Structure 1
């Protein structure tokens, strides 16, 4: 056997990230994104193009004017033209390289250019909104996956709990295991997969974008209609006809109908029903119980436990008392006996209808995952030789930023800090590199003249036809005029083959 036939093919070195893998023929690198194919470094996932042939005649707010003074509506994704995303495009690393695709197109007579790249985000994380009243954990409590800290609980919002996960300190500032698990959890969350996490001195919760949270093994159903006080205000007129007193149990603000201003305006007389907790304004009580997974996000299972003895000078035998949670999922009806003790009684049907109205006015409990990252040197250098020029162009609304075709919110202040809903992005938009860091798509769209003015890589500008590789994945948004009650109408259709 000759030496030529026994020699192994040489490995090639991938420079798509700082890991600098040596990749053998037919194998992929550590990130599973790049491979050695016949001695050439190739991107494994196809470039993703958004196509939409639907013209609804709806114009966005004017974004900028062309040189003739005509408005361009800033409509990047919803127009008839295909929109090239950075999903599958490749990266600019090391920083001096131009972006993989710098594509020019004519949009209503305006020469536009879109610069796309898959950015390596060491400074990134996700903000998670979980629609539930259940207690998940105290503010600042550590969130863990497989025992490793990956983030913390943020301030609660109206009917929702918030988590801040990831960030450079977890990715690179802790142990190697912490960084690896954090990166893996972020990747799965951003790619719409389910992740189970535990919160110190709190709950175990399964989070998946667009799905209901699972808290301690129980799938949540409804987001509360409002706090206890707001619930009183919304349904007071229904209750005043059928009951003498209503207590809406809520971890934050428990409402009492007869004391509440809504009850006063409806001439509901004082009942003598007294609630534990710290009284705020009339009919509103704080800290009636500890947080938990029971009634209204409290730790109680027996609603009577939040009541003191009724006032014997005011309460009366036969007083009708309704106690209900802010989602209507827990409720109980009582009547006071001759000793003024609440006795559980079958609820009248007309009162039951008013309780069901609470649940009917609740939204479904959903998890929302927003990717957040800082677009630093490698991203900007791939667009222009003058990085601050790109930053200023974004701030001046001359450059529009998207992530996988989805509109990104750009935070005010210095730098380009973006935030985007992962459900508005094509499937599998995110990757990783084992530095560890996430790889996320980002696109910058502007007028060709503005691109030249900010020092763009003009010698790398190509038309879409010239830039289009052989393997392309095409996706399209859901018809915006479809069934408005189906959340999936605002998400991506299943990917269709090229």
Structure 2
């Protein structure tokens, strides 16, 4: 296991300097974060260092080792890699930051001397962006999201076919009550470690969310996200509906589509039907605000789709007109025929050919999923563990001379100042995240670059060790790189200035 520098010991207790809490830890006990423990007077990192190893991709036998164990059962996961990569999971931290990062590892890739700087950052400035694939109304924009009654974030602007949450952030972690900070930190930790979390939106839904799993909204598990807005659905399937029905209305909270008025219908010479939609007409065949947002048809409040229809124009409509109404997921549909009074009458039997078109809409819907992206700022203190001149690291990242990964998974770097990272937690090894009671999240981060570039930015050259030495010094476990994007791949770097 990874040994940590010890600042002091009092009455047989070790003072841990891995975070601002500065716990005194008795022999055989762990600190408040459960990450560091006192073992025989030595401060050690409890979790083993996680290494991604090429031998899995080559089909070779892998025997991960931990102190006191000769073997460990392998899960059967495959790693798509070229060489061992030391992740920051289990590496330890640089706090209080005058020290070099716990592991600064050198190895040769494609004839190039490379170095990876590995550390577990303490992120007080961090949060999670949560994407929920559903049309269901979960709550008004900017509504507070609560866990155990405490505010942990808010509903943010929805995206195409998905509801979005912004959770965490420094104001919830440190700007509110002590309980708010603690609950926020626990929520982020559970979500980022791919655990299930229940939450409530003010004025909205009860949510049960877990990364990589379907969302559960008000106790109902979602199965699919919409194929597109109502207008897009008309455009995609207009040809299938041609000559099969006379009119199609695709009900959608955002843009409800009407086949005969839509440009797709015009190009297919579908004649007008005299239909009238209650809503704000945008361009031909596209209507806004046909109903309030909700959990019914197409993310609206309606359970009866006929409620969005006005009277048919008697100068154009005719008895026997065939009308299909369908939601953007194909989960709700109705088939109607106009009677002598031009009133739509529901049909108990849906013609087989029409049913096939509804099934095509459903088939083209992707599975509903919860995505969790960890987002944090790698500030000056964390960068000091990489280089004596932190701003040079920022510049190197922005110039693509340094590749940033989190637990081996590629991280998106936001533009602008600083190093603001965002990473899909499902691409990272399991249980990659920890926490400290300050409260703050502990997340792995790796900086990989050419050795000459590391020296140029003022790196801690005296702390660089070959990868073979790093693996000998630390207990390790083998983990798959889920994304298949290798952190040290040549394509991740600029090879010239």
**Structures share fold, TM-score greater than 0.5:** yes
Partner of 2:151: 149
In the superposition, relative to structure 1, how do residues 288 and 78 fare at CA in structure 2: closer, same or farther (>3 Å)? same
SS at match of 2:31: coil
Residue pairs, 1:445-484, within 5 angstroms? 445-468=448-471, 469-477=473-481
**Retained in 1: the 8 A contact 2:427–2:482?**
no
Q: Please tell me whether residue 15 in structure 1 is matched to residue 14 in structure 2.
A: no
User: 1:28 aligned to 30, 51, 73, which one?
Assistant: 30
Partner of 1:488: none
What do residues 240-261 of structure 1 show as CA deviations (whole Å, max 9, x unaligned)? 2210111100000000111111
What do residues 57-88 of structure 1 show as CA deviations (whole Å, max 9, x unaligned)? xxxxxxxxxxxxxxxxxxxx854210000000
- Distance in 2, Cα, partners of 1:54 & 1:200: 47
Shift in Å at residue 194 of structure 1? 0.8
Shift in Å at residue 385 of structure 1? 0.6
Structure 1 residues without counterparts, runs of 5 or longer: 1-7, 57-76, 482-498
Shift in Å at residue 478 of structure 1? 5.6
Q: Please tell me whether residue 106 in structure 1 is matched to residue 108 in structure 2.
A: yes
Q: How many residues align?
A: 454
What do residues 254-293 of structure 1 show as CA deviations (whole Å, max 9, x unaligned)? 0011111111111111111111010000000000000000
- Distance in 1, Cα, partners of 2:156 & 2:368: 18
Structure 2 residues without counterparts, runs of 5 or longer: 1-9, 59-78, 486-497
Partner of 2:441: 438
**Retained in 1: the 8 A contact 2:429–2:481?**
no
**Retained in 2: the 8 A contact 1:172–1:179?**
yes
Shift in Å at residue 55 of structure 1? 6.9
Which 4+ stretches in 1 moved above 6 angstroms? Answer: none
Shift in Å at residue 9 of structure 1? 6.0
Partner of 1:490: none
User: 1:119 aligned to 115, 118, 121, which one?
Assistant: 121
User: 2:235 aligned to 222, 228, 233, which one?
Assistant: 233
**Retained in 2: the 8 A contact 1:86–1:441?**
yes
Q: Please tell me whether residue 289 in structure 1 is matched to residue 291 in structure 2.
A: yes
SS at match of 1:230: helix
Residue pairs, 1:303-322, within 5 angstroms? 303-322=305-324
Q: Please tell me whether residue 395 in structure 1 is matched to residue 395 in structure 2.
A: no
**Retained in 1: the 8 A contact 2:118–2:446?**
yes
Q: Please tell me whether residue 414 in structure 1 is matched to residue 434 in structure 2.
A: no
- Distance in 2, Cα, partners of 1:237 & 1:423: 39
SS at match of 1:282: coil
**Retained in 2: the 8 A contact 1:52–1:477?**
no
Residue pairs, 1:267-346, within 5 angstroms? 267-345=269-347, 346=349
What do residues 388-425 of structure 1 show as CA deviations (whole Å, max 9, x unaligned)? 11111111111110000000011111110000000110
Give the structure-2-normalised TM-score: 0.89
- Distance in 2, Cα, partners of 1:242 & 1:188: 50
What do residues 446-493 of structure 1 show as CA deviations (whole Å, max 9, x unaligned)? 111111111111111111111123521101236969xxxxxxxxxxxx
**Retained in 1: the 8 A contact 2:428–2:482?**
no
What do residues 205-244 of structure 1 show as CA deviations (whole Å, max 9, x unaligned)? 1111110000000000111001000000111111122101
Give the structure-1-normalised TM-score: 0.89
SS at match of 1:383: coil
Bigger shift: residues 315-324 or 9-18: 9-18
Shift in Å at residue 52 of structure 1? 2.5
